[in-house]
């Protein structure tokens, strides 16, 4: 039972970060209909930028966060203008391919600038707490708290501000939004900016536990099973999907790894695969995720 609670709590903590990153993904999809398969690389780059801010520019933590957000935000806008804007109105396949190829390019930038080294990123304390019989590190509590904060901030942003409302309007109906004077292209830039910033924050939070490396992009790719489970166009789905994936992969490590190693599957890499297996099962049962809209197709 102790193990169960331990796995559950650490799953929820890391799952919130996944949910946060998934939020950035869902946002781009809702406002522009673009599926951003480069989100994992945005996550990785965010962590590397923060590493540079702290270890090379010697900023303090708050400034390093701001520095990361600024650089990632600019990167998001550049991606939106250079790569995405020319593809407005192109078939889905082209747009998906563009983001896939972008992920390769961003990986190239990371290798060029940081040499694909694994670096430590210890920005939070190293103490441990006991909560409800589980041992929880200070880092994961920070990650959880900041993710929740960010999610709440974005929810408020969508509900209360002009920019957020414009994004919701575009998500609802692009033509109608245009007819009331919303510049769609600005909204695209906007959503990419937010996606990059959210990805960067998620990257920092993940890296503060695992360290910064190129492999962080695979960790960031876990956003894809998250949105599959939650449903592509649902913000609460993204958060809940994130928590589900976080719990599921921890449970897989705790309960399934010993089982599969009896079957001859050694090495314990199940943690990274299990979210995808779960997503495959959910797709077979509910092709549109738990909260996604079922679309009716017409010819």
Partner 1 sequence: MFNKPAGTFNASYTKDEAIVRTRTQWGLLIILVGILAVVPYYGPLASDYWINFLIYVAITVISVQGLNILTGYCGQISLGQAAFMAVGAYTTAILSSKAGWPFLACLPMAGLMATAVGFIFAIPAVRVKGFYLAITTLAAHFVIIYLIISLEFTGGSIGIYIERPRIGSIIFDSPQSFYMLVIGVTIVMTVFAKNIVRTKVGWAFIAIRDNDLAAKVMGVNPFTYKLLAFSISAFYAGIAGSLLVYHLQFAHPEHYGLTQAIWLLGILIVGGMGSINGAIFGSIFVRLIDEITNIHISPALGNLFPSLAGQMSAALGLLVFTAIVGIFIIYEPRGLSHRWQLLKASYRLWPFSYWT
Residues in contact with partner 1 by the rule CB under 8 A = 35, 37, 83, 86-87, 90, 92-94, 96-98, 100-105, 107-109, 111-112, 115-116, 221, 224-225, 228, 232, 260, 264-267, 269-270, 272-273, 276-277, 279-280, 283-284, 287, 297-299
- Least CB distance to partner 1 at residue 135 (A): 28
Nearest to 197 by CA among 49, 83, 35, 61: 49
For partner 1, the closer CB: 138 or 257: 257
Contact 293, 235 (CB under 8 A): no
- Least CB distance to partner 1 at residue 204 (A): 23
- Least CB distance to partner 1 at residue 47 (A): 17
For partner 1, the closer CB: 25 or 65: 25
Tell me how many degrees the CA angle 68-72-76 measures, rounded to the nearest 5.
Answer: 170
For partner 1, the closer CB: 5 or 111: 111
Beta-sheet strands, E only, within the chain? 128-131, 134-137
Q: How many CB atoms lie within 10 A of CB 199?
A: 31
For partner 1, the closer CB: 35 or 201: 35
Structure tokens at 236: 């609460």
- Nearest 10 degrees: CA dihedral of 132, 229, 160, 149? 30
- Least CB distance to partner 1 at residue 33 (A): 10
Encode burial over 213-231: b for 16+ CB neighbours within 10 A, e otherwise.
bbebbebbbbbbbbbbbbb
- Least CB distance to partner 1 at residue 106 (A): 8
For partner 1, the closer CB: 97 or 148: 97
Structure tokens at 237: 């789905």
């Amino acid at each position: 039972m102790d193990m169960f609670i331990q796995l559950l709590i650490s799953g929820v903590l890391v799952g919130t970060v996944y949910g946060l990153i998934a939020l950035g993904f869902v946002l781009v999809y809702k406002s522009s209909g673009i599926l951003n398969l480069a989100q994992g690389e945005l996550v990785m780059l965010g962590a590397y930028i923060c590493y540079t801010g702290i270890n090379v520019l010697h900023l303090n933590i708050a400034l390093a966060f701001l520095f990361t957000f600024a650089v990632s935000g600019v990167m998001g806008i550049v991606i939106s203008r250079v790569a995405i804007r020319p593809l407005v109105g192109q078939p889905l396949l082209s747009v998906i391919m563009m983001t896939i190829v972008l992920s390769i390019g961003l990986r190239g930038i990371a290798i060029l600038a940081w040499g694909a080294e694994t670096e430590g990123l210890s920005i939070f304390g190293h103490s441990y707490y006991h909560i409800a019989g589980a041992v929880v590190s200070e880092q994961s509590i920070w990650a959880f708290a900041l993710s929740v904060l960010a999610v709440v901030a974005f929810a408020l942003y969508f509900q209360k501000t002009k920019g957020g409302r414009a994004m919701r309007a575009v998500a609802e109906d692009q033509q109608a939004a245009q007819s009331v004077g919303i510049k769609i292209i600005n909204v695209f830039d906007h959503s990419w900016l937010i996606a990059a910033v959210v990805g960067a924050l998620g990257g920092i939070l993940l890296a503060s536990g695992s360290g910064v490396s190129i492999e962080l992009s695979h960790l960031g790719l876990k956003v894809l099973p998250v949105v599959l489970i939650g449903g592509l166009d649902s913000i609460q789905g993204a958060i809940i999907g994130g928590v589900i994936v976080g719990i599921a992969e921890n449970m897989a490590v705790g309960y399934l790894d010993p089982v599969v190693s009896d079957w001859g599957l050694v090495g314990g890499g199940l943690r990274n695969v299990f979210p995808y297996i779960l997503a495959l099962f959910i797709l077979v049962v509910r092709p549109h995720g738990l909260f996604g809209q079922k679309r009716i197709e017409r010819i």
